[in-house]
Amino acid sequence: MLAGKRILLVIGGGIAAYKTLDLIRRLRERGASVRAVMTGAAQQFITPLSVGALTADHVFTDLFDRQDEQDVGHIRLSREADLIVVAPATADLMAKLAQGLAGDLASAVLLATDKPVLMAPAMNPAMWGHPATRRNRAQLLADGMLFIGPNRGEMAESGEAGEGRMAEPLEIVAAISVALGGGPLAGKHVLVTSGPTHEPIDPVRYIANRSSGAQGAALAAALRDLGARVTFVTGPATVPPPAGVEVVPVVCWLLGFVGLMY
């Protein structure tokens, strides 16, 4: 579904920048072409040389580069892509975009684009939970930006745990497929139910089954990849839900659907 698609990857300055190398590889093996813009901070974590080797293209780093900007390169970059992905989307980049700032190449490209933008945030949990970051996210959502993540987990740079890990490369790939809206099921909304049920007998005991949720998760992922918008209602399964779908967790199907009705 990504064959022939043009992705512009804006790499922000965070330790999660290393994941973008795998993201580029995953996109290219699916037939997409990738061009990259790197902030100055991103170059403190990975190099333009490594990014360029994987994209097989020039890596753009400077708003005032004489050669790149002789034909207003940042405008051209922002318009030639089918989708712009910001990964990692740092608190700084989110704040710049929410306020309409354009003081470097990355923010200028994002302000000048008329294409969809997918943000993959990554930052310390305290930064992600800060009121300023929450306000910026709300503003970006109102402006039509799309988001994938962040996930919960341990932070690489501090040993802290919480919400702030950048989504994994395959999760971002799935979100890109959904954002581009391709596939024979584009425009369709599909409801998938999955996983075991826990029907309570009393406060201690319940009736259950041995479903792992694997089949439902695989079905939801396949529908998502075909372009459908998927709502995934899942019991307490051992297999995690796929990325890029709306997850509605329930414990008891009967009580869960009653709750959804109200």
Please give the model's pTM, rounded to 2 decimal places. 0.72
Distance CA 127, CA 227 (A): 33
Phi/psi for 174 (5° steps) reads -60, -40
Amino acid at 178: V
Residue 150 is classified by DSSP as: P
Which residues fall within 8 angstroms of residue 247, CB to CB, at 6 or more apart? 232, 234, 241
User: Are 43 and 143 within one domain?
Assistant: yes
Domain boundary among 180, 215, 239: 180
Domain boundary among 130, 150, 180: 180
Judge whether 1 lies within some domain.
Answer: no
Judge whether 42 lies within some domain.
Answer: yes
Kindly list the distances between the CA atom of residue 233 and the CA atoms of 15, 219, 221, 259, in Å, as whole numbers in the listed order.
34, 12, 13, 12
Kindly list the distances between the CA atom of residue 162 and the CA atoms of 6, 87, 158, in Å, as whole numbers in the listed order.
33, 19, 11
CB 180, CB 2: distance < 8 Å: yes
Judge whether 202 lies within some domain.
Answer: yes
User: Are 223 and 162 within one domain?
Assistant: no
Which tokens belong to 48? 């333009």
Judge whether 23 lies within some domain.
Answer: yes
Range of the domain at 122: 6-180
Q: From start to end of the chain, where are the E strands?
A: 6-11, 33-38, 59-60, 83-89, 117-121, 146-147, 151-154, 161-165, 189-194, 198-200, 206-208, 229-234, 246-249
Distance CA 223, CA 227 (A): 7
User: Are 84 and 210 within one domain?
Assistant: no
- Helices 91-99 and 105-112: crossing angle in degrees, nearest 10, is 50
User: Are 256 and 215 within one domain?
Assistant: yes
Identified catalytic residue from 124, 136, 151, 209: 209
What pLDDT does residue 258 have? 43
CB 46, CB 20: distance < 8 Å: yes
User: Are 83 and 105 within one domain?
Assistant: yes
Q: Tell me the per-residue pLDDT of 146-155, one tens digit each, with 9 for 90 and over.
A: 888 888 777 7
Domain boundary among 132, 151, 180: 180
Number of domains the chain is built from: 2
Q: Tell me the per-residue pLDDT of 193-241, one tens digit each, with 9 for 90 and over.
A: 998 888 888 888 888 888 888 999 989 888 877 778 889 999 888 888 8
Per-residue model confidence as pLDDT tens for the chain (262 residues) = 788 899 999 999 989 999 999 999 999 998 999 999 999 999 999 999 999 999 999 899 887 766 655 555 667 888 888 999 999 999 999 999 999 998 889 999 999 888 899 999 999 898 999 999 999 999 999 888 888 888 877 776 666 778 888 988 988 988 888 888 766 777 788 999 998 888 888 888 888 888 888 999 989 888 877 778 889 999 888 888 877 778 888 887 554 444 444 3
Torsion, Cα of 165, 168, 174, 178 (10° steps): 20
- Helices 73-80 and 105-112: crossing angle in degrees, nearest 10, is 50
Phi/psi for 261 (5° steps) reads -65, -30
CATH of the domain at 35: 3.40.50.1950
User: Are 167 and 248 within one domain?
Assistant: no
Annotation marks residue 209 as catalytic:
yes
